[in-house]
């Protein structure tokens, strides 16, 4: 087995390698003067089972191109099997035609990875489960419950606890957490009555006197979670915290979270945390290195990955 890292999240790649007690494969991944991607692998990979660790986070297009070029380099170096390990799968939010004449970019990315020569994809908490069907190669979609549920039990406990989905689309994910924690479930129904009018938040379920935990897969601008936290408190919740797998946190999202009604935001390191994230007291980062490393080990040894969640 060989591990190869791109530039998107080198610290996570090193932590995964440490959890597997192996070294990252020596390689050069850099840019020419005109920003073209250049890859050179400095070790023999012929006949090897190679895992490329690369999130397609900001800058998404650059990191995606890096991944594609690394796959091509390995294919031409006669690697036996190439697995794209994408802790964060970019373009996952474009999983359907949201309006006329719009793309389904998640399917395009699936096609690009397959045509480049990837034999398998390993990712974490896809925005939409149906994206697995966009691939004609095996895809393993890890869930964040083994990582986050023990943390919730340790830091928060289950007394007067309610799991909350910040929108209708995330109910299945939140229900999984509620089942694991054996607590109640509530849902935020958000709607915009007409253009130019702010969203109205309706809470489905009784949260009065409850400590609420919002569960989501992605936080980008932070508006939805911050507004949901305020709506929950207005409906009688004692406190609100959020557990989110992928901390995109673009623009002024970190400042928005810091000044919000959220007591705490917990994210993973699927996307490399910025300096603003690291110094913000309200945001805590969980490492997915051990979970991702265990999945890589099981794939390499042809063992069950789904049993990780039993």
Active-site residue, 155 included: no
Buried/exposed 205-220: b ≥16 CB within 10 Å, e otherwise: bebeebbbbbbbbbbb
- How far is the C-alpha of 257 from the C-alpha of 226, rounded, in Å? 7
Annotated binding site for Mg(2+): 127, 167
Burial (CB count within 10 angstroms: exposed 0-12, middle 13-18, buried 19+), residue 72: middle
Residues 6+ apart with CB under 8 A from 241: 156, 211, 212, 213, 214, 262, 263, 264, 265, 266
Three-state DSSP class for residue 40: strand
Token pair for 158: 């289950």
Token pair for 77: 């170096």
DSSP string, 69-110: HHHHHHHHTT-SEEEEEESS-TTTT--S--STT---HHHHHH
Query: What phi and psi, each to the nearest 5 degrees, are found at residue 200?
Result: -105, 130
Nearest by Cα to 273 from 264, 286, 262: 286
- In the set 107, 190, 256, 282, the catalytic residue is 190
Annotated binding site: 34-36, 93-94, 127, 167, 192, 216, 220-224
Asked if residue 50 lies in contact with residue 34, where contact means CB atoms within 8 angstroms, the answer is no
Annotated binding site for D-ribose 5-phosphate: 192, 216, 220-224
Which residues carry out catalysis?
A: 190
């Amino acid at each position: 087995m060989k591990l190869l890292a791109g530039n998107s999240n080198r610290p996570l790649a090193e932590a995964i390698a440490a959890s597997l007690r192996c070294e990252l494969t020596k390689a050069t991944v850099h840019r020419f003067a005109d920003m073209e991607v250049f890859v050179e692998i400095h070790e023999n990979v012929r006949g090897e089972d190679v895992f490329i660790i690369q999130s397609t986070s900001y800058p998404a297009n650059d990191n995606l191109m890096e991944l594609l070029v690394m796959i091509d380099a390995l294919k031409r170096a006669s690697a036996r099997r190439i697995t794209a390990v994408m802790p964060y799968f970019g373009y996952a939010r474009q999983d359907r035609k949201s309006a006329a004449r719009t793309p389904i970019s998640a399917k395009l990315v699936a096609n690009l990875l397959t045509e480049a020569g990837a034999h398998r994809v390993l990712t974490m908490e896809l925005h939409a489960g149906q994206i697995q069907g966009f691939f004609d190669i095996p895809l393993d979609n890890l869930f964040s419950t083994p990582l986050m549920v023990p943390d919730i039990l340790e830091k928060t406990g289950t007394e007067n606890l309610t799991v909350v989905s910040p929108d209708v689309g995330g109910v299945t994910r939140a229900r999984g957490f509620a089942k694991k924690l054996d607590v109640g479930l509530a849902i935020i129904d958000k709607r915009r009555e007409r253009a130019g009018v702010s969203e109205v938040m309706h809470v489905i379920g009784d949260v009065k006197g409850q400590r609420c935990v919002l569960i989501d897969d992605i936080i980008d601008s932070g508006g939805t979670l911050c507004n949901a936290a305020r709506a929950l408190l207005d409906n009688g919740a004692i406190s609100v915290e959020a557990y989110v797998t992928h901390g995109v946190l673009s623009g002024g999202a970190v400042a928005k979270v810091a000044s919000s009604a959220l007591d705490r935001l917990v994210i993973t390191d699927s996307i490399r945390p910025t300096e603003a994230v690291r110094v913000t007291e309200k945001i805590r980062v969980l490492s997915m290195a051990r979970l991702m490393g265990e999945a890589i080990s099981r794939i390499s040894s042809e063992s069950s990955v789904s049993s990780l969640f039993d």
